[in-house]
Structure formats: C-alpha cells, structure tokens
C-alpha cells in the first residue's frame, strides 16, 4: 500500500479477486468479477450483490457517483494503482472500475412464473462472447429469463459478463440445468418451445409467435443435436433472403427473440412487467 492505494499485485486482497478469473474459484467463492462502469452501475442497482469495488484514482474522479453509491451502501472501496487494475482486469485497456459480485442466478423453478412469456435457452453454447450477446439481446427484447444449460459456458466468465453489457443483472438467469429438464419446466409453465435451427421445416414467417414462447439456441459450430430438436414443439429457421450462407448464433437469436417480442406486443400478450431477480 502507498497511502490508501493498493500497489502490490501480490497482496492477499488482489490475489483473492484475481483468482475469480478461473471458474473453479468462482464456483467455490460464489463470486465473479464485473468490469467497467456499465456493469458496475447495474450491479450496484441490486441489493447485496457487490461485495467490494476496486477503482483507480482517475476512474473514481470520472465515475464519482458510482463510487459514492458503493460507499453509501457500505461496500468496501479499494483505490488501486494502474498496475493492480491491469492485473485484475481482463481487458487490454481497463476502464478503472471493477466489482467483486456475488452470484445472481436463480433456480429454474423460481425463474418461471405464470407470467413468463418469453425465454431463451442456451444449449451447448460454448463461446462466452456469443452467450453474453444473446443474454443482452434477450434482455433488450423483453425476455423473462435466460437458461444456461449444463453444457453451456459459464455466464460468469469475464467475456460473457462484458458482452452482456449489464444485462446479467436485469433478468433471472438460470445456470446448469439439463436441457431436457429445462424444456419440461418451460412446457409445464405453458410455453411453446421452439428450436432455432437452419434445418427447420418452418421459417419465422410461417409460425405464430404471439403466445408464450421459449427459444432454444445451439452450438455455434454444429447447431442443435437431434435429441434436442426432438424435445422442441417445432424447429424453426431464420429465412435467408440474400446470399449469406447463414447468420451467426447471436444475430439469429436476436432475430428470433425480437420476432416473438413484436408478435406478442402486437397481440397484447407480452409480460406485464420485467420478472426481475
């Protein structure tokens, strides 16, 4: 320490936070890192989520309201040198704010209610950037929940958290559910389960999306295996009007989710309010 500033990258506090870049330690501590002012702002908006905050002097000056909000909430705030922040951050150019957050996911049965109208299920999605972008798209489309199945990437992966742009803190997120269990629970909750796949017999133009709907999105490289396609009520593809071979996962997911959201809004069947954690 130099005055009140953390300068030693080997200090116990820095090492404890740095180890959360690894999933085994995240699972053990039930904590993860949220980097940047947008993620920190959204995390601070929830009660008892931020455990501690690291900030550089420059970031504290630039985002004084966030640092003040953390202090007002009784959250420990540690001023860190640029070297320490570079050690903690997982980006090439750190923004100077990083929060240690407690896990925010909820059980599947809690995420689904009688008012659930739109859900996204990530099945075997391995790329954290794609997963976080799908989570962000689901949030933007007004989805009620996002399910990360047991074979998908950890939503607390740093790249996934950044790609979600704060949406991780906006709606119920389920982790670790087997696909079959998730599909069964969604159907029991009254949702029609649609698998998004390029081999689908029907296109988005052909199906009625005005009712409660859950979309299953598959792996970036090989899509959805047969056993998962068979769990769905229908398999739907995004129509390609131009010459592109296909859409990437995140783009296709955004198109599907917004198609459902638009149909539900037109029919007046969308969720009455966000189903926040």
Q: What is the pLDDT of residues 144-196, one digit of tens each?
A: 999 999 999 999 999 999 999 999 999 999 999 999 999 999 999 999 999 99
- Rg of the chain over all Cα atoms, to the nearest angstrom: 20
| Matching fold, domains 5-102 and 108-267 | no
Burial 218-232 (b: 16+ CB within 10 A, else e): bbbeebbeeebbebb
Three-class SS of residue 105? coil
Task: Compute the distance between CA of residue 215 and CA of residue 235 in angstroms, rounded to an integer.
Answer: 10
Strand intervals (E) in the chain: 5-6, 31-35, 50-55, 77-80, 97-102, 118-122, 145-149, 173-177, 192-196, 202-203, 213-217, 234-237
- Which H helix or E strand runs over 186? helix 179-188
User: Domain limits of the chain?
Assistant: 5-102, 108-267
pTM above 0.85, yes or no: yes
108-267 is classed CATH 3.40.50.920: no
Cα 191 from chain centre: 21
Q: What is the pLDDT of residues 222-272, one digit of tens each?
A: 889 999 999 999 999 999 999 998 899 999 999 999 999 999 999 887 765
| Highest CATH level, class, for 5-102 | alpha beta
């Amino acid at each position: 320490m130099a005055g009140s500033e953390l300068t030693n990258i080997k200090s116990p506090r820095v090492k404890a936070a740095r180890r959360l870049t690894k999933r085994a330690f995240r699972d053990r501590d039930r904590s993860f890192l949220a980097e940047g002012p947008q993620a920190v702002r959204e995390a601070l908006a929830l009660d008892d989520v931020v455990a501690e905050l690291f900030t550089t002097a420059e970031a504290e000056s630039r985002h004084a309201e966030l640092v003040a909000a953390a202090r007002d909430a009784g959250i420990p705030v540690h001023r860190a040198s640029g070297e320490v922040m570079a050690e903690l951050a997982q980006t090439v150019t750190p923004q100077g704010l990083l929060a240690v957050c407690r896990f925010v996911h909820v059980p599947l049965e809690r995420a689904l209610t009688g008012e659930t109208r739109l859900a996204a299920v990530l099945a075997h999605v391995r790329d954290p950037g794609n997963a976080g972008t799908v989570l962000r798209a689901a949030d933007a489309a007004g989805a009620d929940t996002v399910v990360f199945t047991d074979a998908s990437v950890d939503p607390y992966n740093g790249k996934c958290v950044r790609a979600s742009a704060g949406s991780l803190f906006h709606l119920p997120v389920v982790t670790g559910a087997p696909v079959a269990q998730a599909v069964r629970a969604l159907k029991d909750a009254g949702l029609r389960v649609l698998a998004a796949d390029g081999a689908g017999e029907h296109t988005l133009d052909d199906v009625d999306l005005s009712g409660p709907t859950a979309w299953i999105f598959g792996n970036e490289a090989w899509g959805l295996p047969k056993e998962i396609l068979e769990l769905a009520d229908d398999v739907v593809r995004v129509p390609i009007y131009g010459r592109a071979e296909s859409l990437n996962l995140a783009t296709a997911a955004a198109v599907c989710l917004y198609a459902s959201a638009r149909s539900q809004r037109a029919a007046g069947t969308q969720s009455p309010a966000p189903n926040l954690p």
